[in-house]
Amino acid sequence: MTFAEKIEEWIKEAETRPGSALMILKLIAGRLRDLTERNEELLAENIALENGTRVDEYQKRITHLEYQLALLKKRFGADGEPLSGLPAAQPAAPQALALLAYNASGRMFRFEAFPDSQRAALGRILGEMSMGGEQPRLLALPLEEDVLLMFTSGRVSTLAAADLPFSEAGRSRFWIDAALPDEPHAGELLACLLPLSRLPLADFILQVSRRGSVKRTLSSMSESVLANHYLGRGATQKADQAFDVFLCQKKERLLLVSSQGRALALNVDELSYASEERMRLEPTDYIVASFIMPAGAALVCLTQTGKVIERAADDLEVSKSGLARGQALIPPSRLEQGTRFIGALPVGKDDRLVVLDAAGNLTLHTASVLSAAGAIKVDGPFLSAALLPYSEGPKP
C-alpha cells in the first residue's frame, strides 16, 4: 500500500472513529519525518556526487582494496599458489627470512637469516645501543613483507622490507651507517614495526603501551589509519608511551609480560575500543613483551643475564576484566637480587631465536637447546631477541 493510500484509509478511520484522530495524526507525522530525513540523505548524496566528494571517497576505497590485494599476493603468491611454486605434496626447504634490527632513532639493518642455518653468528652492530632509554629491537619476517612503522606519537608510515639495504652476515656494522627510512619527528621515537601481510585477514589492530594499556581497533579502519598516517598513542597516561602494535583475529589470546616477571593473558574479544589500562604494574615496572599467543606454544622469557624461563602458555589463566596483576614468573628472592625480564616469545620446539647482546653480537639459537640448557651464552647483558619460526616452505 502506498503512502497516499494509507492517508485515505487513515482519514476514513478518523471520520468513523473521531477518538482515534490524534493517534492517526502522530502516525502521519512520524512517517513524514522519516521521509524528510531520507530526502535530506538523498540530497546530500547528490551534492557529494556532483562536487566529486563521493567519487574521491570511492577512489580512496578502491586504492586501499588494491593495496590489500597486493598484500595477499605477497603472502600467498601472485596466482594464489605458494610463493615457492612447488606442489603442496613436495617438501620445500625453510625459506630465508629478513631479520630487521632497529633502534628508537629509526635506524634499521636488514640481515638474511635461515631458520635451519647452522651458522651461529649473524653479524655485529656497534655504537650506542640505548636511544631515548629504549634498547634496539629485532623482527624476523619474509622479505616480500610490507612493514608498518609505529612511532610513540601515534604516527605511522609504511615500508617495503626489500627496500632496506642488505647487510652481509658476519660483518660489523655501526648504527650510524644504518638506513633511516623515516626519521622520527621532534619529540617522538620509533616504537615498533608491524608486518602487514595479515591485514586483509585480520579482525583487529591491537596496541599495547609500556604501562600496560591496551586498545583494540577494527581492521576495517586501516584505510583511514594508512591514509592519515595516524593510529594514536594507545596510552592512557601522559607519561606512558606506545610500545607494540599487531594484527589479530577473533577468539585469540593476548599475552603481556613485564620486566618484573608478571604475565597476563587477555581475551581479544573482551578488549575495549578505547585505551584501557589492563595490567596493574609497580611504579618501576613496565611491559617488555606483548604478542598473540598460539595454542600449544611455550612461553619463553629471557632475563638480562641470558637465563631462560619456560612456561606452558595454556597454563596461564585468562583475565576476565578490569585491572589485574597477572601471574608471577620470577620468585621474590630473585627479584630482590635484581633479576628482570628483557623479553619473551611464543616458541615451538623447532623454532630458533636470534639474540642481540650488549656487545652488539647477533647470534642464532635453537629453542629446544635453550630450554634444555636454561641459559644463553651472551657477551655482556642481553638486550633483545626475535623469533625465527621454522616452517617447511611458506605458509599463510
pLDDT at 33: 76
Residues above pLDDT 70, as percent of the chain: 82
pLDDT at 390: 62
Question: Nearest to residue 260, comparing CAs of 307, 345, 214, 329?
Answer: 329
Whether 327 has a pLDDT exceeding 50, the answer reads: yes
Q: Are strands 121-126 and 172-174 parallel, antiparallel or unpaired?
A: parallel
DSSP symbol at 323: -
pLDDT at 172: 87
Q: Report the C-alpha gap between 70 and 146 in whole angstroms.
A: 10
Question: Nearest to residue 309, comparing CAs of 324, 288, 325?
Answer: 288
Q: What is the pLDDT of residues 358-377, one digit of tens each?
A: 999 998 888 888 878 888 87
Counting beta carbons within 10 angstroms of the beta carbon of residue 248, is it exposed (0 to 12), middle (13 to 18) or buried (19 or more)?
Answer: buried
Beta strand segments in 330-392, E: 341-347, 352-357, 361-366, 382-388
Place of cell 608498518: 148
The cell numbers describing 135, all together, are 634498547
Q: Give the mean pLDDT of the chain.
A: 84
pLDDT at 324: 93
Whether 115 has a pLDDT exceeding 90, the answer reads: no
Of 46-50, 81-85, 275-279, highest mean pLDDT: 275-279
pLDDT at 87: 43
Whether 245 has a pLDDT exceeding 90, the answer reads: yes
3-state SS class at 33: helix
Q: What is the pLDDT of residues 157-187, one digit of tens each?
A: 999 999 999 988 778 899 999 999 999 999 9
Asked if residue 300 lies in contact with residue 367, where contact means CB atoms within 8 angstroms, the answer is yes
Q: Which amino acid is at 324?
A: A
The cell numbers describing 67, all together, are 593495496
pLDDT at 2: 64
Side by side, the strands of the sheet bearing 156-160 are: 156-160, 146-151, 190-195
Whether 396 has a pLDDT exceeding 50, the answer reads: no
DSSP symbol at 163: G
Crossing angle between the packed helical segments 53-76 and 21-51, to the nearest 10 degrees: 70
Q: Output the DSSP codes for 63-74.
A: HHHHHHHHHHHH
pLDDT at 89: 41
Q: What is the pLDDT of residues 203-217, one digit of tens each?
A: 999 999 999 999 999
Q: What is the pLDDT of residues 289-309, one digit of tens each?
A: 999 998 888 999 999 988 999
Q: Report the C-alpha gap between 385 and 364 in whole angstroms.
A: 10
DSSP symbol at 250: T
pLDDT at 10: 66
Q: Output the DSSP codes for 43-57.
A: HHHHHHHHHTHHHHH
Vertex 319 angle, CA 303 and 213, to 5°: 65
Q: Report the C-alpha gap between 241 and 188 in whole angstroms.
A: 10
Asked if residue 343 lies in contact with residue 329, where contact means CB atoms within 8 angstroms, the answer is no
Residues 6+ apart with CB under 8 A from 97: 112, 113, 114, 115, 140, 141, 142, 143, 388
Instruction: Please report, to the nearest 10 degrees, the dihedral formed by the alpha carbons of residues 135, 139, 144, 149 taken in order.
Output: -40
Q: What is the pLDDT of residues 53-95, one digit of tens each?
A: 555 665 666 666 666 677 666 666 544 444 444 444 444 445 6
Vertex 360 angle, CA 103 and 345, to 5°: 65
What is the pTM for the complete model shown? 0.77
